[in-house]
Amino acid sequence: MKLLVDINYIDQYTSSFVKALIDYSPKVIAAILLFVIGIWVIKIINTVSRKIMVKREIEPTLIEFLSDIIFWGLRVVLFIAVISKLGIESSSFVAILGAAGLAVGLSLQGSLSNFAGGMLIILFKPFKLGDFIEAQGVSGSVIDIQIFVTQLLTVNNQVVFVPNGTLSNGNIINYSKKENRRTDLTIGISYDTDIKKAKDIIYNTLNKNSKILITPKPSVSVKEITDTGIKIAIRVWTKNQDFADVSSEILEDSKTALDNENINFQLAPPK
């Protein structure tokens, strides 16, 4: 008798399960189709949007970032659409996502500042990869621009990570923005020196240096007369890549030329 009761229960459960499966199967099939088609559409949208951004010559870092946002944003929308198709209330999931987003935003305020700074740097492009910049007390070549930090390679081969939040809110000196750069040097000569003769000697030295640009014309002038001597200002224009070499060559060649004329040379740091 007990065996018959158990069999009846099994039959009832089986019938209920089959009925529920039949009633629910259209929703499952529709959800699966929606998921498969949605994944395919997301790939197409992501590929097309990436091609459009590349065609418009948007910064590669920004392309990668925006592509990721589009990809995962559409996947979240697809997930909500699929569970809605299955008959599950989606408003609760949206509320959970909103609460999670708020919690993450409050806990990552500093990171969000760096994120915003990274977006500003990528959009307004105060510098680009390969530029030599000075910012936040650090100078070096830009080797990577990420969403949260920018990497600089210093002249002594050290990699410095500068947070984009502070970088975007501070002063940035971009030495590579313009093709040419002016070299400003100051040297000193004694009071008993013939100023015109000293200037002519320096001019001749500058004219022999092929790295110094003819236009704008090099300038050699009296900058200041002090208690210890006369300061001569030298201003020349060079290509960016020749800046360091030219500064060294001017000092070396000027010292040699003035020594040959028995003129006392005094190196004075520029102000």
> What pLDDT score was predicted for residue 90?
60
- Cis peptide leading into 216, omega within 30 of 0? yes
Amino acid (1-letter code) at residue 77: V
Q: What is the pTM of this model?
A: 0.58
> What pLDDT score was predicted for residue 270?
44
> What pLDDT score was predicted for residue 35?
84
3-class secondary-structure state, position 161: strand
CATH class of domain segment(s) 2-107: mainly alpha
Low-confidence ranges of the chain (pLDDT < 70): 1-24, 59, 61, 87-111, 265-271
Closest CA to 67 of 53, 86, 87, 88: 53
DSSP codes of every residue in 189-209:
E-TTS-HHHHHHHHHHHHHT-
Q: Which two tokens stand for residue 207?
A: 């004219």
Beta bridge mates, 142: 152
Range 120-128 contact pairs with CB under 8 angstroms and sequence separation of 24 or more: 120/164, 120/168, 121/145, 121/150, 121/164, 121/167, 121/168, 122/59, 122/61, 122/62, 122/65, 122/147, 123/62, 125/59, 126/172, 126/174, 127/172, 127/174, 127/176, 127/177, 128/59
3-class secondary-structure state, position 224: strand
> What pLDDT score was predicted for residue 20?
57
CA distance 248 to 102: 56
> What pLDDT score was predicted for residue 129?
85
Range 81-84 contact pairs with CB under 8 angstroms and sequence separation of 24 or more: 81/34, 81/38, 82/31, 82/34, 82/35, 82/38, 83/31
> What pLDDT score was predicted for residue 119?
78
**Widest Cα–Cα separation across the chain:** 131
> What pLDDT score was predicted for residue 140?
93
- Domain boundaries along the sequence of the chain: 2-107, 124-174, 180-267
> What pLDDT score was predicted for residue 52?
85
CA distance 68 to 60: 12
> What pLDDT score was predicted for residue 234?
93
Q: Which two tokens stand for residue 173?
A: 């000196």
3-class secondary-structure state, position 174: strand
Q: Which fold has domain 180-267?
A: Alpha-Beta Plaits (3.30.70)
Q: What is the DSSP letter of 220?
A: E
Selecting from 3.40.50.720, 3.40.50.300, 2.30.30.60, 3.90.226.30, what CATH number does the domain 124-174 have? 2.30.30.60
